[in-house]
Structure 1
Amino acid sequence: MNSIDQTKTTDTANLWMIGMSTMKSSMLLSLVMAIIKGVAGIFGNSYALVADALESVSDVISSLLVWLGLKYASKPPDEGHPFGHGRAEPLVTFVVVGFLILTAGVIIYQSIINIMTPHKLPAHFTLIILGIVIIAKELMYRWVIKKSNSTNSTALKADAQHHRSDAITSLSAFVGISIAIYLGPGYEAADDWAALIAAFVILYNSFMIFKPAWGEIMDEQNHSELIQKIKVCALEIEGVKDTEKCYVRKAGINYLIDLHLEVDGSISVFDGHEIAHRVEDKLKSCGWGIIYVSMHVEPVRTNVEC
């Protein structure tokens, strides 16, 4: 293994460690929030708060799955997996989406039952609990999304969306409980309508989480910014006349590149091979998460006789 590959392996390992450390903190906060909201919802007679607690429980389970997925995806390439194990990350994301949809279904079912069944008004203290939860979850969202951007992790982005989803459902519960409390008897169901709205927010966020993970599995070509940087980088290497095709595949936090180079058609095969290697080494050392480059060298005529 050359020095560039060694550096790349170290950088990748550090990014995976950041991702897994972030997930541990995320799981801990979601667990604390689930317990607080569940207890407050039960004793405060608020199903919106109980539903919010269920959403936090799904966050804990999904965060655990994401952590396990990141741990597996961080394994280095081996003989059976020469491109690494990064594709485990979007696969785990699909499982997370499944848990979110299941949670939304449970909340919708119970909300409808509660709307049709008379019950007491929620307690005032539930609003204080929700205010604290909303602030905590929004701060957690901003922290996790920052980490996901620095590591380019699809799974961390999904987990960040969980926290934003939780903040939104808590806000919805806050509004519903406020209506029920301050308008009094006859408006008890406002709390349950809030839970119902929160469930549809969860479904929408599930779709938003699913979409990029599906694109990653299907090798969707939506990396125009990275492709442009690759082309500019390649043209800085002496001997490269131009680039033709460039395809990008995302695998976890890493990228696999298929690139067609154009070089002087009159040079030797050996020289063309050397130019391709210099391009590959430079791309891997740029810090863009590129761990594999497949190069095809295209000859171009530089002197055309009329």
Structure 2
Amino acid sequence: MVVQENLLLGANASRNSTFTLVFLAILKGFVGFHSGSSALIADAVHTSLDIFTSFAVWVGLKLSLKGNAEKFPYGYYKADNLVSLFVSVIILFSGIELVHEALLNIKNPVEIKLQGIALGTALFSAMSMYALSQYKARVGRQIDSQALIADALHSYTDVFSSLIVVIAIAGSILGIMWLDSVGVLLISLMIFKLGIGIARDSVLTLMDAWLDRDSITRTRQNVASIQGVKQVEEIRLRKSGLVVFGEIEIEIEGNADLKRVEMLSEEIEKTVKNEVKNLEHLVINAKPGKMSAMKIAVPVLEPEGLQSKVSRHFGRAPYFIIFELEGDEIKSWQVNRNPASGLERKRGLKTAEFLKSQGVNVVIVGEIGEGPFHNLHDSFVKMLRMPEEAEDVEKVVEKVSGLSRLTSHTE
């Protein structure tokens, strides 16, 4: 919905620009014809080309407003980039045109009649083009339209071409006929640089190149910091007109069941949208991470190491033994007092928070309430059902590989 509103805003800006350029072209052509100012007539022709360019941007943005079609499942958004490429070509031709005008004026300087009116028209044109370029640039940046920004830059170069006309007329008044030609040659170099830059960005975008590498780095860091994401393997982004399509491959902690992936996908998409403006669609490919070492917590009644008697209750257990299991081998273990066992309220939730703070990724438990169950589940901590016949921790460890997973709370 926001993208459609932005496209409509951009289309309206291009339409307003087109009508303004029509007025300026007619004004400069009329005054140029009656004053005999070839520079003003040339500028009118130049502005006429701008009408075509601005109209093309308008058409491109209107095309982008069309919804998806069978032949265009990703929409018509790239029309914006195609128009931007077209505008860059027009800019380069404008530069060539200005060079040609400058060389002609050096050879054949012309004296201008109605100099005051011609000078006023050129100044008015320069101010109007500057205001128009700022208007289009502001809207273009607001909606992130490459074509509208390119057209704004084109209009900005037209400010200089109008100023050249001012210099040419002022030079005619002062008897210095070559001033406009020198200015034209210098400004043409700026126009060439601008046109080549826009053409380069347009071609790269059409080839699905992503130009903002910093946003990839920030996105990778932010997604990797989400609880449950073990590793961000790859991020691919491509711009299509105003919008961005993306794909991200992640490795998640624990099993990649549908509910977990759905929960993570929502948070990942929200995180990516904070970094990438106008994200239209994000494909998230999630796969379960390889758990090289499990950090397992078992509730126990006393701190007697692996011989400790197990407690079937989660929140009321006075101690937890936490051990790292690699394959079938215990690499290390420690017994911690449960700081929440004596609480009257939220005992289970506080116990869950405590275990997470210890880096636990697996809990073996007999009875667990709804609150702590969802707390651990949402944090991608795997919960296994404690075997009925197990009396101490050693017996539980022997059966770890065959324990079933808890899929709901038991209290």
TM norm structure 2: 0.64
- Among residues 220, 241, 248, which one is paired with 1:259 in the alignment? 248
CA distance in 1 between counterparts of 2:221 and 2:278 reads: 16
Report the identity percentage: 22
> Is residue 175 from structure 1 mapped to residue 167 from structure 2 by the alignment?
yes
Q: In structure 2, list runs of 5 or more residues that go unmatched.
A: 294-325, 332-411
Equivalent runs, 1:50-61 vs 2, <5 Å: 50-61=41-52
**Deviation digits for residues 46-95 of structure 1, max 9, x if unmatched?**
22222221221111101111111111122222332222211111112222
Distance change >3 Å, CA 85–CA 233, structure 1 → 2:
farther
Distance change >3 Å, CA 193–CA 31, structure 1 → 2:
farther
Equivalent runs, 1:111-122 vs 2, <5 Å: 111-117=102-108, 119-121=110-112
Distance change >3 Å, CA 107–CA 288, structure 1 → 2:
closer
Counterpart residue number, 1:246: 235
Q: How far off its partner does 1:146 sit?
A: 0.9
Which structure has more helix as a fraction of its residues?
A: 1
State which drifts further: 152-161 or 229-238: 229-238
CA distance in 1 between counterparts of 2:42 and 2:192 reads: 14
Query: Which amino acid in structure 1 is aligned with residue 266 of structure 2?
Result: R
- Among residues 48, 57, 66, which one is paired with 2:57 in the alignment? 66
CA distance in 1 between counterparts of 2:146 and 2:32 reads: 32
Q: In structure 1, list runs of 5 or more residues that go unmatched.
A: 1-9
Counterpart residue number, 1:11: 2
Q: How far off its partner does 1:209 sit?
A: 2.6
Distance change >3 Å, CA 34–CA 205, structure 1 → 2:
farther
Instruction: Answer yes or no: is the 8 Å Cα contact 1:276–1:297 preserved in 2.
Output: no
Which structure has more strand as a fraction of its residues?
A: 2
CA distance in 1 between counterparts of 2:183 and 2:34 reads: 18
Counterpart residue number, 2:67: 76
Q: How far off its partner does 1:230 sit?
A: 3.5
- Among residues 261, 269, 282, which one is paired with 2:270 in the alignment? 282
> Is residue 128 from structure 1 mapped to residue 120 from structure 2 by the alignment?
yes
Distance change >3 Å, CA 213–CA 288, structure 1 → 2:
same
Counterpart residue number, 2:20: 29
> Is residue 97 from structure 1 mapped to residue 97 from structure 2 by the alignment?
no
CA distance in 2 between counterparts of 1:143 and 1:152 reads: 14
Counterpart residue number, 2:316: none
Q: How far off its partner does 1:26 sit?
A: 0.7
Query: Which amino acid in structure 2 is aligned with residue 178 of structure 1?
Result: A
Instruction: Answer yes or no: is the 8 Å Cα contact 2:210–2:239 preserved in 1.
Output: no
**Deviation digits for residues 2-53 of structure 1, max 9, x if unmatched?**
xxxxxxxx11110110010000111111111111122222222222222221
Equivalent runs, 1:153-302 vs 2, <5 Å: 153-182=145-174, 184=175, 187-192=176-181, 194-195=183-184, 199-228=188-217, 230-231=219-220, 234-235=223-224, 237-264=226-253, 266-271=254-259, 273-279=261-267, 281-282=269-270, 288-302=277-291
TM norm structure 1: 0.84
CA distance in 2 between counterparts of 1:255 and 1:156 reads: 17
CA distance in 2 between counterparts of 1:200 and 1:294 reads: 43
CA distance in 2 between counterparts of 1:268 and 1:167 reads: 58
Instruction: Answer yes or no: is the 8 Å Cα contact 1:16–1:70 preserved in 2.
Output: yes
CA distance in 2 between counterparts of 1:14 and 1:236 reads: 33
> Is residue 143 from structure 1 mapped to residue 135 from structure 2 by the alignment?
yes
Counterpart residue number, 1:47: 38
CA distance in 1 between counterparts of 2:82 and 2:15 reads: 19
**Secondary structure class of the residue paired with 1:38:** helix
Query: Which amino acid in structure 1 is aligned with residue 206 of structure 2?
Result: I
Query: Which amino acid in structure 1 is aligned with residue 133 of structure 2?
Result: Y
**Deviation digits for residues 240-289 of structure 1, max 9, x if unmatched?**
2342321210001000112122211x314435532453246536865821
State which drifts further: 296-305 or 56-65: 296-305
* Count of residue pairs the alignment pairs up: 293
| Bigger Rg, structure 1 or 2 | 2
Across the aligned residues of Structure 1 and Structure 2, the Cα RMSD in angstroms comes to: 2.7
**Deviation digits for residues 90-144 of structure 1, max 9, x if unmatched?**
1122222333344444444454344323532452332221222222211211111
State which drifts further: 46-55 or 11-20: 46-55
Counterpart residue number, 1:6: none
Counterpart residue number, 1:4: none
CA distance in 2 between counterparts of 1:82 and 1:280 reads: 24
